[in-house]
Amino acid sequence: MTSQIILSTSGATKRFGGVTAVNNVDFSINRGEVVGILGPNGAGKSSFFNLLAGAIQPDSGTINFLDQDVTSWQSHEMCAKGLARTFQIVRPLKGLTVLENVMVGAFAKTRSVREAKEIATSAIELVGLAGLENVVSSNLTLGFRKRLEVARALATKPEILLLDEVMSGLNPAELDSFLEMLRSVNKDGVTLIVVEHIVSAVIQISTRIVVIVQGSTIANGTPSEVINNKLVIDAYLGELDYEVS
């Protein structure tokens, strides 16, 4: 089966005043991939992530999603098209239950309460929150709130899910479990883009890694290729004590 590019950028550039946060970035992701985006603080990862999500628009360059030019689209238009995102700071609707929170995401695709409940229930099961449907979201642990964030995004029925620092703050056991959950989401047919500071987690989950430094892409390859890339080691990783076969 041939690979199908479902999201790409060509020459994407974004400036904030005199700072070029994203500098002429060419990027693409195939259906079914898990692509990790790494880079130091201030590298431009978040700005690039926000370009993909429609939160900001590029000053130059183009963005294509599902064979359509979406360069000037807003976040709600991208969501309706099939691109969902999580946020680095989890934002549950605190007065609502887990089920009600996820149903909010489902209403992006349906006006039927019955259908929204069915979609939400499936998303809740996929992220490992089954049995907690009636728990008020403010009573959840951080790890469960992060799963709720993923479930609410999944309820919009996305083709691509953008994950923004979704694993930060998790302990090692929670992290391992979270990675397994993300693998299940990917196996369920959702393409993933993961922006994360936890290098070991990105290495474990990604089929391909892109490294951004000072707004530019300096590496793009398999986890093994990237962590052994001298330019990446010098610019970002240092001597990483982590092996990839």
User: Over the chain, what is the mean pLDDT?
Assistant: 91
In 3D space, the residue among 18, 80, 9 whose CA is nearest the CA of residue 50 turns out to be 9
Partner residues linked to 163 by β-bridges? 194
Q: What percent of the chain has pLDDT over 90?
A: 74
pLDDT above 90: residue 244: no
Distance CA 107, CA 118 (A): 11
| Cβ(201)–Cβ(242) below 8 Å | no
Q: For residue 238, what pLDDT is reported?
A: 62
pLDDT interval class at 1 (50, 70, 90): very low
CA distance 107 to 197: 32
Q: Which fold would CATH assign to domain 1-82+193-245?
A: Rossmann fold (3.40.50)
* Per-residue confidence (pLDDT) for residue 78, from 0 to 100: 95
Q: Taking residues 108-126, what's their average pLDDT? A: 94
Band the pLDDT of 245: cuts 50, 70, 90.
Answer: very low
What would the two tokens of residue 195 be? 């922006």
Q: Does residue 5 register a pLDDT over 80?
A: yes
| Helix, strand, coil tally for the chain in percent (to 5) | 35, 25, 35
Instruction: DSSP for 158-172, please give it.
Output: -SEEEEESTTTT--H
Contact 163, 194 (CB under 8 A): yes
Give me the pLDDT at residue 145, please.
93
Tell me what the mean pLDDT of segment 210-222 comes to.
92
pTM comes to: 0.90
Domain boundaries defined on the chain: 1-82+193-245
Residue 152 to residues 90, 146, 243: CA-CA distances in angstroms?
Answer: 11, 10, 34
pLDDT band at 40 (very low <50, low <70, confident <90, very high): confident
